[in-house]
Each structure stands twice: as structure tokens, then as C-alpha cells.
Amino acid sequence: QAARRLRTAGFTAVWDIREGMLGNRLGAGWLARGLPTVRYEERADGTGATVGLLYNLPASD
């Protein structure tokens, strides 16, 4: 459902990783597979927006 909402909102590089970050019965998970991540800290512009992990993915075809 989240992937569908993102596509509806105009995002084009959306992947549904059903096994999640840590894995489940469907697979090993994003981290165990060594897929790319980028860590972000609290924004310096004072907005207080904090993002834990952002998936750095290539654009989809």
C-alpha cells in the first residue's frame, strides 16, 4: 500500500521490498543483502526533520 501511495503521489523510483530492512520469511532483508543505504542526521536548517535511513536507488526504467 505504501508503494502504491508513493506512485500515486508522483514518485517514479519506487520498489516494494517485501522482506523489509531486517528480513522475514520472504528473504534476508535489505541490510543483509548489502543494498545501499545513506544515513542522514537532523537537518542543519532548523526544521528538525530527521530521517533514519534513505534508500539510495537508481531511477527505474
Indicate the number of domains in the chain.
1
Q: Is the pTM of this model over 0.75?
A: no
Looking at residue 6, what is its pLDDT? 85
Mean pLDDT of 22-49: 75
Amino acid at 44: A
Q: Is residue 11 part of a domain?
A: yes
b/e string for 29-45 if b means 16 or more Cβ within 10 A?
A: ebeeeeeeeeeeeeeee
Q: Is residue 52 part of a domain?
A: no
Query: Binning pLDDT at 50, 70 and 90, where does residue 7 land?
Result: confident
Supply the range of the domain harboring residue 13. Answer: 1-33
Q: Is residue 15 part of a domain?
A: yes
Provide the 3-class DSSP secondary structure of residue 54.
strand
Does 4 have pLDDT greater than 80? yes
Report how far residue 34's alpha carbon sits from residue 16's, in angstroms, rounded to the nearest whole number. Answer: 17
